[in-house]
Structure 1
């Protein structure tokens, strides 16, 4: 028996009113392929819509979406209708919940931004082993004063649009939320509180005499640690895989993304995007609420 599925389309502001026509065309394409479609259900007028259907395998439905050649500005998610509202949410921080890579911003204060940013880019693309790349970048921060971290947080760390609304809406609906980062506790602690996550996990930088030693505490929180956190929380909460959600942008997020019931890549590197069940290429983080079937009026605004 083929389970009921749902195709969700979400447009950012650049898509304008064209999404209504696109939704109708896609529903018609699914029907031509043999699907039995419900009427389009608008989650937000002209911006986000669900098309629930049955009688068509996922592979064939995906082919319909590919053949539609969606224009830029529209994200989509194709998934089973059951369990789409998740009960556990894990998120990467740098370039996902916030707009910057904190280690690159710290390196700017240390005078090594170009060198560190190059390593970060390669590590997030999966071209370098994460632990080695992490240690090499942290070593370049040696001698940086503790106040530089506060300056980076105050002057450069900015929340990605929709981050607080996403987390607060999910918390209001009983979801357990965790911020898991290959970055640093100095930042995850503060972002956790600002956004509203239940918990955070990351790496601890070591100080001596008010300056960074160029070393972080071991073990390093890497891709395996992110995956282990997802699995530990899932078992602790007695949840099925289908009830979990993870989002990230880099190669170190791939195991977590692949293990979640819905793994989403956010404005991501190529390898992370290829590993994900769905991609957010254009919209902000509230797109993830629409993917779960939340209506605009259900959003808990920051």
Structure 2
């Protein structure tokens, strides 16, 4: 694979001076404008990547250094987190809202996603607070509150068209991952199993917890089963528990992520939707 890079800048309303400044900082000799909202800077020097990406983000642009000649179809597996990545909500927070305890649960969720709390312990603490809720609360959240994030349908459609397998791996719950898998034609889905007895949540989980290590292991196992190379795998996530799988993938994409996740990922989408991936890898 070529080590030459193209800096791709996604700018919905590009300021010509901003583009000139970015190209100068990146030392990019060739600029292409394949669309009104995208600029490809061929020959950009990756040595100043952090400065260049920071400048783009300050202007409200998403940007990434892409290997020359790399296309979306070169990936054969897309691995995605669910909550706040593929979908617009944190499901556990919305379930808690139905019980009237969303602020308490959401605060724990936020800290866990920033990596300030042990994920497994924080999950068990939050699930315990849901004890007694009827199973119908899960259906209510799925039907009334859960939506795909902007660009998700376009990304999944492109994956189906190109024959890219899709793996949804979540620290959330199987109730939601299983329905998303069925509704949107995903190939694989893994998450935590809420224990339900007599139609009510017990406040406990069944089986192994899907934490950061498990997410990485599921990526590796699926990659191996499909006989893929690391560079054929892209992973997308937003929380600290996604970091190991993002780093294990050939390309790790942070989507509207916590700062430490964005800093560690190969690509950080801070402004656009998930369809930004389609623009980066045309």
Q: TM-score, normalised by structure 2?
A: 0.92
Deviation by residue 1:158-180 (Cα, 9 ceiling, x = unmatched): 11111111111122112111111
Alignment of 1:40 onto 2:32: yes
How much has 1:240 moved relative to structure 2?
1.6
Alignment of 1:49 onto 2:39: yes
Of the candidates 218, 222, 225, which is equivalent to residue 233 of structure 1? 222
User: Matches of 2:218 and 2:127 in 1, distance apart?
Assistant: 23
Deviation by residue 1:247-280 (Cα, 9 ceiling, x = unmatched): 1110000001111111111111122112111111
Aligned residues: 280
SS at match of 2:112: helix
Structure 2 counterpart of 1:261: 250
What is the 5 A alignment of 1:129-278? 129-278=118-267
Deviation by residue 1:178-218 (Cα, 9 ceiling, x = unmatched): 11110011111122233332221111111111101111112
Q: 1:3 to 1:142 in 2, by over 3 A?
A: same
User: Matches of 1:70 and 1:190 in 2, distance apart?
Assistant: 35
Structure 2 counterpart of 1:300: none
User: Matches of 1:148 and 1:69 in 2, distance apart?
Assistant: 42
1:263/1:276 contact within 8 Å kept: yes
Structure 1 counterpart of 2:4: 4
Q: 1:74 to 1:240 in 2, by over 3 A?
A: same
Alignment of 1:74 onto 2:56: no
Q: 1:114 to 1:278 in 2, by over 3 A?
A: same
User: Matches of 2:182 and 2:30 in 1, distance apart?
Assistant: 41
User: Matches of 1:212 and 1:63 in 2, distance apart?
Assistant: 46
SS at match of 2:43: strand
1:26/1:64 contact within 8 Å kept: no
How much has 1:84 moved relative to structure 2?
4.6
User: Matches of 2:169 and 2:96 in 1, distance apart?
Assistant: 21
255-264 vs 194-203, which deviates more? 194-203
Q: 1:76 to 1:224 in 2, by over 3 A?
A: same
Deviation by residue 1:100-127 (Cα, 9 ceiling, x = unmatched): 1000011111232121111101100100
Q: 1:109 to 1:66 in 2, by over 3 A?
A: closer
How much has 1:2 moved relative to structure 2?
7.8
Q: 1:47 to 1:160 in 2, by over 3 A?
A: same
Q: TM-score, normalised by structure 1?
A: 0.86
User: Matches of 1:143 and 1:67 in 2, distance apart?
Assistant: 47
Q: 1:229 to 1:82 in 2, by over 3 A?
A: farther
How much has 1:243 moved relative to structure 2?
1.5
SS at match of 1:40: strand
Structure 1 regions of 5+ residues with no counterpart? 295-302
Alignment of 1:59 onto 2:47: yes
SS at match of 2:180: helix
Alignment of 1:115 onto 2:111: no
2:53/2:63 contact within 8 Å kept: no
Structure 2 counterpart of 1:26: 22
SS at match of 1:207: strand
Q: 1:129 to 1:70 in 2, by over 3 A?
A: closer
2:215/2:242 contact within 8 Å kept: yes
1:110/1:140 contact within 8 Å kept: no
